[in-house]
């Protein structure tokens, strides 16, 4: 079993809530190669813990909206869902919808974060969970953004593969024909309304010590990076956490957040459409960027063959002279990248395919890739594909 205490990373896991658990698990396991390493079922919900190298996902699904008066079989087990769904003011964060809502983080001192931020909304106070592999400490706080929460977890005294309360699953019973392709989480992107963008950046700096960084050469320190397409567009800001020990976060890999909002309030762009489909909350996790294990071209071919629904590429992207030159300078084949729909940007020096990333020493996000990904998604929203 994997020892998380010896392999810290900033993101502990990302939690989904779904009303279609079988479909969600099928997509992640059969198409993208995740492995189910543990699961559990209580009277109120079922959960599955998935893993692919350094990327861990927790899939949760409420079994019914009439909650039982259940205390999980042992108070020693990890549990944030029960307090959230029993509270009338927080249960709507996940009830009756598919949503990514919990960004769980490795931290060194949970109490330190809570003590330094007495005004933060605590959904689950500091608790311990214990099983035969050791003990963990955890708490859960509400983000300033929409339905997003953060579970803070200290696993320094734990050697298990998952969390206390889960039952390990034999990997040999799963699909052995899809290789592990996802290596880790590159970034998390939030969709928010215009008036909460800067306050969200300030909140993440205050709570976690994250610092604003320039996503590319076109990023303005005060206005962010602007994407405009006719009557729709967005502004984008980015923050990252890296070796800020005073915040009590584990010194692992970088945490990168992108915060985007509508450039023209009232328009029908992809950010406004996405927020409206999620009960109109003031913010939500819009997408996650994954890093590939090796070759992004190999990963795209396999996921397409497995039935992945990839968005249509821009027809003229590979015909533009500058893009062709950049692709050739990177020793890539234009026809091959066009077939797979892979974008390449020399400013960020990385490749993107609908936010599956292959970074070549890049730290930011290329302006060209951001604009083209926006156009691709907007085509889908407009029904042009």
Tens digit of each residue's pLDDT (9 = 90 or more) over 21-46 = 999 999 999 999 999 999 999 888 99
Residues of the chain below pLDDT 70 = 1-9, 65-75, 172-177, 242-254, 279-280, 321, 345-366, 384-385
Q: Which domains does the chain have, with CATH numbers?
A: 4-180 (3.10.180.10), 183-381 (3.10.180.10)
For the chain, the 3-state helix, strand and coil shares in percent, each to the nearest 5, are 25, 35, 40
pLDDT value, residue 363: 52
The two most distant CA atoms of the chain are separated, in Å, by 65
pLDDT value, residue 163: 95
What tokens were used for 63? 């079994």
Tens digit of each residue's pLDDT (9 = 90 or more) over 73-126 = 456 899 999 899 888 889 889 988 899 999 999 988 899 899 999 999 999 999
Tell the residue number behind the tokens 């077939």, with chain if given. Answer: 339
- DSSP assignment, residue 7? S
The strand pairing partners of 256, in sequence order, are 240
Element (H, E) at 251: none
What tokens were used for 358? 């292959």
State how far the Cα of 249 lies from the Cα of 241, in Å rounded to an integer: 9
pLDDT value, residue 9: 44
Question: What b/e readout covers 88-106, taking b as 16+ CB neighbours within 10 angstroms?
Answer: eebbebbeeeebbbbbbbb
In the chain, DSSP assigns E strands to 11-17, 35-41, 45-52, 55-62, 99-106, 122-131, 134-142, 149-154, 167-168, 182-192, 211-212, 225-229, 232-241, 255-262, 283-292, 343-345, 350-352, 356-359
Nearest one of 59, 56, 1, 55 to 25, comparing CA atoms: 59
Tell the residue number behind the tokens 């070759």, with chain if given. Answer: 295
pLDDT value, residue 62: 93
**CB-CB neighbours of 316 under 10 Å:** 8
Q: How far is CA 89 from the centre of its chain?
A: 24
């Amino acid at each position: 079993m994997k020892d998380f205490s010896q392999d810290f990373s900033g993101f502990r896991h990302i939690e989904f809530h779904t009303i279609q658990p079988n479909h969600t698990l099928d997509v992640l396991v059969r198409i993208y190669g995740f492995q189910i390493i543990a699961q559990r079922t209580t009277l109120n919900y079922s959960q599955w813990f998935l893993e692919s190298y350094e990327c861990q996902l927790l899939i949760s699904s409420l079994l019914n909206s009439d909650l039982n008066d259940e205390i999980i079989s042992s108070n020693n087990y990890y549990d944030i869902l029960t307090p959230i769904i029993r509270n009338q003011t927080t249960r709507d964060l996940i009830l009756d919808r598919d949503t990514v809502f919990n960004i769980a983080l490795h931290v060194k001192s949970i109490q330190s974060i809570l003590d330094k931020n007495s005004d933060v909304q605590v959904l689950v106070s500091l608790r311990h969970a214990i099983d035969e592999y050791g003990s963990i400490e955890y708490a859960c706080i509400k983000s300033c953004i929409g339905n997003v929460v953060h579970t803070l977890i200290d696993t320094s005294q734990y050697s298990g593969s998952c969390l206390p309360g889960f039952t390990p699953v034999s990997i040999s019973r799963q699909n052995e024909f899809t290789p592990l392709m996802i290596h880790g989480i590159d970034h998390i992107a939030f969709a928010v309304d215009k008036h909460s963008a800067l306050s969200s950046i300030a909140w993440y700096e205050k709570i976690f010590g994250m610092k604003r960084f320039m996503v590319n050469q076109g990023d303005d320190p005060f206005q962010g990076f602007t994407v405009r397409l006719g009557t729709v567009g967005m502004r984008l800001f980015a923050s990252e956490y890296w070796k800020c020990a005073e915040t009590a976060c584990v010194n692992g890999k970088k945490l990168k957040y992108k915060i985007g909002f509508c450039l023209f309030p009232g328009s029908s762009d992809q950010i406004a459409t996405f927020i409206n489909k999620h009960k109109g909350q003031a913010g939500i996790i819009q997408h996650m960027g994954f890093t590939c294990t090796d070759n992004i071209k190999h990963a795209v071919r396999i996921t397409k063959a497995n039935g992945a629904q990839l968005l249509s590429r821009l027809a003229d992207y590979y015909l533009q002279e500058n893009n062709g030159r950049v692709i050739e300078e990177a020793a890539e084949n234009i026809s091959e990248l066009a077939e797979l729909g892979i974008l390449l940007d020399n400013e960020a020096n990385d490749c993107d395919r609908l936010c599956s990333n292959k970074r070549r020493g890049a730290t930011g996000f290329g302006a060209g890739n951001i604009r083209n990904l926006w156009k691709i998604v907007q085509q889908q929203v407009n029904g042009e594909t």
